[in-house]
Structure 1
Amino acid sequence: MRPLLGHDAIHPDIDRTVSTYYSDIVQEVSEAIGANGVVIVGMKHNPFVKKARKTLQEAGIEFKYLEYGSYTSQWHKRLSLKMWSGWATFPMIFVDQTLIGGYNELQALLKNPDAKLTSLTRV
């Protein structure tokens, strides 16, 4: 497991900056995860985000999509999500309030008949 820097290892002068870095975006994503079975967090022009959305649409699986900029815009917002989730790439896909990974992991779960993720059930 990847170690995380402990709260006690962050100097008090920067603690608030670290803990509130684009917290509104993290809150927005958290609320979407709580209110929807499947959430895709992505960005413009990313082919894997497009593939994930298309895959779910073709499978008849409902999802909520949140988009934060492109390769050259809103990178701070995306960085806050990477820091929060520990997942370094987009899309970030959440199923039943659990981060399952990105497009490749979604493909693997859809092919796995033993996957116990109810929100990946076709509508």
Structure 2
Amino acid sequence: MPRPVLDESAIHPAVRPLVATLHADVVTQVREAVSDHDVVVVGMAGNPFVKKARRALDAAGVPHHDIDIGSYFSQWRRRNALKMWTGWPTLPMVFVRRQLVGGADDLQRLIASGELKQLLA
């Protein structure tokens, strides 16, 4: 399922370092959390869908690591780096065993079907 990404040869050499490092700290933070925890929910303050995902995990008795990056009014550029890295357009971003499983509704489907328990077994 390859998705189109601008080839490095189509990026001028003078801007490649900026492209490669822009908000890399937030991507590194999430990558490390995903490596260290079975379930990670990446969100932002004030987003009801992030709360929905976390409540669903709590109700299912699934421990999770939460990362919030800003709010509707702050840090949207940093969140964009995550969106470009994952290809996922919205928050939350839910990771289970190092795999992006989607957002709140996707997570609820996994819980309802029993697949989340299988992924964590």
Q: Normalising by structure 2, what TM-score? A: 0.93
1:89 corresponds to: 90
Counterpart of 2:90, as a letter, is T
Counterpart of 1:94, as a letter, is F
Q: Percent identity?
A: 47
CA displacement at 1:27 relative to structure 2: 0.4
Equivalent pairs, count:
119
Q: Deviations over 1:6-59 (max 9, x none)?
A: 122211111110110110110010000000000000001111000000110111
Moved more, 31-40 or 106-115: 106-115
Pairing 1:40-51 to 2, within 5 Å after superposition? 40-51=41-52
Secondary structure of 1:93 counterpart: strand
Secondary structure of 2:85 counterpart: helix
Of the three residues 114, 117, 120, the one matched with 2:119 is: 117
Question: 2 CA distance for matches of 1:8 and 1:33?
Answer: 30
CA displacement at 1:114 relative to structure 2: 4.7
Q: CA RMSD in A?
A: 1.3
2:101 corresponds to: 100
Question: 2 CA distance for matches of 1:98 and 1:7?
Answer: 25
Verify the 8 A CA contact 2:60 2:111 in the aligned structure 1. Answer: no
2:4 corresponds to: 3
CA displacement at 1:113 relative to structure 2: 3.1
Unpaired segments ≥5 residues, structure 2: none
Question: 1 CA distance for matches of 2:9 and 2:111?
Answer: 41
Secondary structure of 1:43 counterpart: strand
Moved more, 76-85 or 106-115: 106-115
Secondary structure of 1:69 counterpart: strand
More strand by share: 2
Counterpart of 1:101, as a letter, is G
Question: 2 CA distance for matches of 1:114 and 1:52?
Answer: 15
